[in-house]
Structure 1
Amino acid sequence: MKKLLLIRHGKSDWNNPDLSDFERPLNERGLKNAPMMAQRLLDNNIIPQKIVSSPALRAKQTAEMFAKTLGIADKEIQYSKEVYEATSTDLLGLINMFDDQYKYIALIGHNPGLTDLILHLCDSGMYNLPTCGMVMIHFPFTSWEMVSYETGSLKFFDFPKSDTEIDSILS
Structure 2
Amino acid sequence: MTLRLILMRHAKSDWSEPGQDDFDRRLNDRGRRAAPLVGRWLADKGHIPEIALVSAARRTVETWDLVAEAFPTVQAKVLKSLYLAGPDAMLRLLRQKRQSSVLVLAHNPGIGECASLLARTPPQHARFDDYPTGATTVLDFDAETWSDVGWHSGSVRDFMVPRDVN
> Does the alignment reach a TM-score above 0.5?
yes
Is residue 159 from structure 1 mapped to residue 161 from structure 2 by the alignment? yes
Unaligned residue ranges in structure 2 (runs of 5+) = none
Asked whether 1:80 is paired with 2:82, we answer no
Sequence identity of aligned pairs in percent?
A: 29
One-letter amino acid of the structure 1 residue matched with residue 146 of structure 2: W
2:122 aligned partner: 124
1:26 to 2:24 alignment: no
Does structure 1 residue 39 correspond to structure 2 residue 36?
Answer: no
| Aligned counterpart, 1:115 | 112
Find the aligned partners of 1:87 and 1:14 in 2 and give their Cα distance: 23
CA contact (8 A) 1:82 1:94 kept: no
Counterpart AA for 2:38? M
3-state SS in 1 of match to 2:113: helix
Closer/same/farther in 2, CA of residues 69 and 163 from structure 1, 3 Å limit:
closer
Deviations 1:6-50 (A, max 9, x none): 010000000111320000000000000000111112222321111
How far did residue 163 of structure 1 move? Answer: 6.0
- Matched to 1:28, the amino acid is D
Question: Displaced runs of 4+ in structure 1, greater than 3 A?
Answer: none
Would you say the 8 A contact 1:3–1:139 is kept in 2? Answer: yes
Rounded Cα–Cα distance in structure 2 between residues aligned with 1:42 and 1:115: 22
SS at 1:10 equivalent? coil
Alignment of 1:30-109 (within 5 A): 30-73=31-74, 76-98=75-97, 100=98, 102-109=99-106
Calculate the aligned-residue CA RMSD, in Å. 1.5
Letter of the structure 1 residue corresponding to residue 122 of structure 2:
S
Question: What TM-score, normalized to structure 2?
Answer: 0.91
Q: Which amino acid aligns with 2:84?
A: E
Aligned residue pairs total 160
Give TM-score, length-normalised by structure 1: 0.88
The equivalent of 2:152 in structure 1 is 150
Cα separation, 2, equivalents of 1:129 and 1:67:
21
Structure 1: 5+ residue stretches without partners: 165-171
